[in-house]
Amino acid sequence: MNGLSLSKETQENISQVIGVDFASIVDYEPLEEMSLIGKTIVFSKKRNLKKIGRGNPLLARHKIRTLDDVNKKLSRIK
Protein backbone atom coordinates (compact mmCIF):
# COMPACT_ATOMS: atom_id res chain seq x y z
CA MET A 1 0.00 0.00 0.00
CA ASN A 2 1.13 3.59 -0.44
CA GLY A 3 1.10 4.62 3.22
CA LEU A 4 -2.52 5.81 3.24
CA SER A 5 -5.08 4.08 5.41
CA LEU A 6 -8.76 4.40 6.15
CA SER A 7 -10.22 4.55 9.63
CA LYS A 8 -12.03 1.49 10.98
CA GLU A 9 -15.34 3.34 10.77
CA THR A 10 -14.79 4.13 7.08
CA GLN A 11 -13.80 0.53 6.35
CA GLU A 12 -16.95 -0.73 8.09
CA ASN A 13 -19.13 1.74 6.15
CA ILE A 14 -17.63 0.61 2.85
CA SER A 15 -18.19 -3.04 3.78
CA GLN A 16 -21.82 -2.36 4.69
CA VAL A 17 -22.57 -0.43 1.51
CA ILE A 18 -20.91 -2.91 -0.84
CA GLY A 19 -21.83 -6.03 1.10
CA VAL A 20 -18.32 -7.52 0.95
CA ASP A 21 -15.62 -7.59 3.63
CA PHE A 22 -13.20 -4.65 3.24
CA ALA A 23 -10.08 -6.86 3.39
CA SER A 24 -11.30 -8.83 0.36
CA ILE A 25 -12.17 -5.62 -1.52
CA VAL A 26 -8.57 -4.43 -1.18
CA ASP A 27 -7.31 -7.65 -2.79
CA TYR A 28 -9.70 -7.51 -5.79
CA GLU A 29 -8.30 -7.44 -9.31
CA PRO A 30 -9.63 -4.69 -11.65
CA LEU A 31 -11.87 -7.15 -13.52
CA GLU A 32 -13.38 -8.35 -10.26
CA GLU A 33 -14.11 -4.74 -9.28
CA MET A 34 -15.86 -4.11 -12.59
CA SER A 35 -17.98 -7.25 -12.22
CA LEU A 36 -18.92 -6.18 -8.67
CA ILE A 37 -19.98 -2.71 -9.82
CA GLY A 38 -21.54 -3.99 -13.04
CA LYS A 39 -20.07 -1.38 -15.37
CA THR A 40 -16.80 0.35 -16.13
CA ILE A 41 -15.88 3.39 -14.08
CA VAL A 42 -15.53 6.52 -16.21
CA PHE A 43 -15.43 10.27 -15.76
CA SER A 44 -18.49 12.13 -16.94
CA LYS A 45 -18.04 14.06 -20.18
CA LYS A 46 -20.82 16.52 -19.28
CA ARG A 47 -19.79 19.95 -18.07
CA ASN A 48 -21.50 20.99 -14.87
CA LEU A 49 -21.17 24.75 -14.55
CA LYS A 50 -21.74 24.52 -10.78
CA LYS A 51 -18.61 22.42 -10.36
CA ILE A 52 -16.21 24.26 -12.65
CA GLY A 53 -13.52 25.90 -10.59
CA ARG A 54 -13.82 23.34 -7.80
CA GLY A 55 -12.18 19.99 -7.52
CA ASN A 56 -9.90 18.53 -10.15
CA PRO A 57 -8.76 21.19 -12.66
CA LEU A 58 -8.08 18.47 -15.24
CA LEU A 59 -11.77 17.55 -15.22
CA ALA A 60 -12.80 21.17 -15.68
CA ARG A 61 -10.44 21.58 -18.67
CA HIS A 62 -11.39 18.21 -20.23
CA LYS A 63 -7.77 17.04 -20.02
CA ILE A 64 -8.54 13.56 -18.64
CA ARG A 65 -8.61 10.92 -21.34
CA THR A 66 -9.92 7.40 -21.02
CA LEU A 67 -8.18 4.40 -22.51
CA ASP A 68 -10.90 4.26 -25.17
CA ASP A 69 -10.14 7.86 -26.20
CA VAL A 70 -6.43 7.13 -26.37
CA ASN A 71 -6.97 3.97 -28.43
CA LYS A 72 -9.20 5.87 -30.89
CA LYS A 73 -6.55 8.57 -31.35
CA LEU A 74 -3.79 6.00 -31.73
CA SER A 75 -5.78 4.11 -34.36
CA ARG A 76 -5.91 7.32 -36.47
CA ILE A 77 -2.10 7.51 -36.57
CA LYS A 78 -0.71 5.85 -39.65
Q: Is residue 43 a contact partner of residue 51, using CB atoms and an 8 Å limit? A: no
Q: Is residue 27 a contact partner of residue 20, using CB atoms and an 8 Å limit? A: no
Rounded mean pLDDT of 29-40?
A: 76
What does the domain layout of the chain look like in residue ranges? 7-41, 43-78
Rounded mean pLDDT of 4-19?
A: 85
Q: Which of 22-26, 34-38, 71-75 has the lowest mean pLDDT?
A: 34-38
Model confidence, pTM: 0.41
Residues 38-78: pLDDT tens digits?
A: 766 666 677 777 666 666 777 667 777 888 888 999 999 87
- How high is the pLDDT of residue 55? 66
DSSP code per residue over the chain? --S----HHHHHHHHHHHTS-HHHHHT--HHHHHHHHSS------S--TTTTTSS-HHHHTT----HHHHHHHHHH--
